[in-house]
């Protein structure tokens, strides 16, 4: 089976984590994968969409095509899969026009209606696809997955000193310039943490770096080759999401990376954070500035960080790893997944297999 993925770029984070991550599994079932950037020019794109007939199946990732381009793709593609891990029917949280867009919603409805299979990164996105007109039987929820083996184990640390101020944890955040805006929107929080927790530092792995005054920022230029190692040098991963539908479509890659690196996580209770963070087990959910300050102080104890980090790593391995979802992804792409199957998390699926049925 020949599979073509039409993506922003083969090196784009979404392609790397949601398609190329499964290349080995696809190869094991006799499927060859070709990833192509969507052409920018109209004539070049028209030729590209028409030429998809050379493949047995096509994955279109996240792109909402104009009607005429979707018609060309649908005529050429023998099997069309739409994969998305963002709420592409909305504008992003920081757009001055607001998140709602009638044009985007129409484009989203067209693609999920035309596709033979829709792969959504979380339950919120799957629900949106269903509300937009996609038949429930052709929607599968497959989370963004990481490869835990890429992330070195967090080195063991000595026990803390007698006061928090003498041994504060080093916070770490990873992301792009666009998602950094969410961190900067709570500038007063970071400044307060810097004032009230002497010696606290924030490691920022990005292509742009903020200045939070009293909170010392450690700038680390992002690199695919070094990101896992740089994450492990921190003590506690942090994530902040705006409380809106765009953010509820986020699939929690930051949190998964922190957990794969063996770090506990502090995050606000929005979207994927609610699903991935089990308070007291692998992290802390914090809303107010007081909550965040208390969480940082609690996680000043290396022994507690190590315990929570290990719990998070185990959960990634069981429920969010490439190995855990490879078989499901391959089956959906190939068209061999049972129609109408509700895809469960791997840990829940094991329980279902044991008892032979699931009570929903």
Q: Does 99 share its domain with 69?
A: yes
Q: Are 40 and 65 in contact (CB under 8 A)?
A: no
How many domains, in total, are found in the chain?
A: 2
**What integer pLDDT is reported at residue 159 of this predicted model?**
47
Q: Does 237 share its domain with 269?
A: yes
What is the C-alpha separation between 302 and 160, in angstroms, rounded? 6
What is the C-alpha separation between 349 and 282, in angstroms, rounded? 22
Show the domain range for 16: 2-145+322-355
- pLDDT tens digit string along 246-273? 999 999 999 999 999 999 999 999 999 9
**What integer pLDDT is reported at residue 156 of this predicted model?**
57
- pLDDT tens digit string along 107-164? 999 999 999 999 999 999 999 999 999 999 999 999 999 999 999 876 655 444 434 4
The pTM of this model reads 0.89
Alpha helices in the chain (DSSP H): 13-18, 23-28, 42-50, 67-76, 102-114, 123-131, 177-184, 187-196, 227-232, 245-248, 253-260, 272-276, 289-298, 302-319, 322-334, 346-355
What is the C-alpha separation between 342 and 100, in angstroms, rounded? 29
3-class DSSP state of 57:
strand
Question: Percent of the chain scored above 90 by pLDDT?
Answer: 87
Q: Reply yes or no on whether the pLDDT at 318 is more than 70.
A: yes
Query: Which CATH number covers residue 110?
Result: 3.40.50.2000
Q: Does 169 share its domain with 39?
A: no
Q: What angle do CA 102, 81, 12 make, to 5 degrees?
A: 80
Phi-psi region of 252 (alpha: psi -120 to 50; beta: other; left: phi over 0): left
Q: Are 251 and 270 in contact (CB under 8 A)?
A: no
Query: Residue 299's closest CA among 270, 279, 272?
Result: 279
Q: Does 10 share its domain with 84?
A: yes
- For 214, phi then psi, to 5°, come to -65, -25
Look at residue 12 and tell me if it is in a domain. Answer: yes
**What integer pLDDT is reported at residue 306 of this predicted model?**
96
């Amino acid at each position: 089976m020949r599979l073509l993925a039409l993506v922003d770029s083969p090196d784009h984070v979404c392609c790397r984590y949601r398609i190329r991550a499964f290349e080995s599994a696809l190869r094991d079932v006799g499927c060859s994968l070709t990833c192509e950037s969507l052409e920018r020019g109209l004539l070049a794109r028209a030729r590209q969409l028409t030429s998809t007939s050379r493949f047995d199946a096509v994955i279109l990732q996240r792109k909402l095509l104009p009607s005429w381009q979707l018609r060309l793709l649908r005529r050429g593609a023998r099997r069309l899969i739409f994969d998305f891990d963002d709420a592409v029917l909305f504008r992003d949280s920081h757009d001055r026009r607001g998140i709602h867009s009638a044009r985007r919603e129409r484009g989203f409805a067209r693609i999920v209606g035309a596709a033979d299979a829709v792969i959504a990164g979380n339950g919120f996105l799957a629900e949106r696809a269903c509300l937009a007109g996609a038949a429930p039987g052709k929607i599968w929820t497959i989370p963004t997955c990481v490869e835990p083996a890429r992330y070195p184990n967090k080195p063991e640390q000595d026990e803390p000193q007698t006061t928090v101020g003498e041994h504060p944890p080093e916070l770490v955040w990873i992301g792009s310039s666009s998602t950094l805006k969410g961190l900067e929107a709570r500038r007063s929080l970071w400044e307060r943490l810097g004032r009230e927790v002497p010696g606290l530092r924030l490691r920022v792995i990005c292509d742009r770096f903020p200045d939070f005054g009293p909170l010392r920022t450690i700038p680390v230029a992002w690199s695919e080759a070094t990101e896992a190692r740089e994450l492990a040098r921190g003590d506690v991963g942090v994530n902040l999401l705006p409380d809106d539908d765009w953010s509820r479509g986020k699939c929690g890659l930051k949190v998964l990376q922190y957990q794969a690196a063996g770090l506990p996580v502090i995050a606000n209770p929005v979207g994927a954070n609610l699903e991935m963070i089990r308070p007291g087990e692998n992290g802390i959910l914090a809303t107010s500035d007081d909550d965040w300050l208390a969480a940082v102080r609690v996680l000043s104890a290396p022994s507690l960080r190590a315990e929570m980090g290990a719990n998070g790593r185990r959960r990634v391995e069981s429920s969010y790893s490439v190995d855990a979802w490879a078989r499901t992804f391959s089956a959906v792409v190939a068209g061999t997944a049972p129609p109408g199957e509700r895809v469960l998390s791997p840990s829940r699926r094991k329980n279902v297999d044991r008892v032979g049925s699931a009570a929903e």
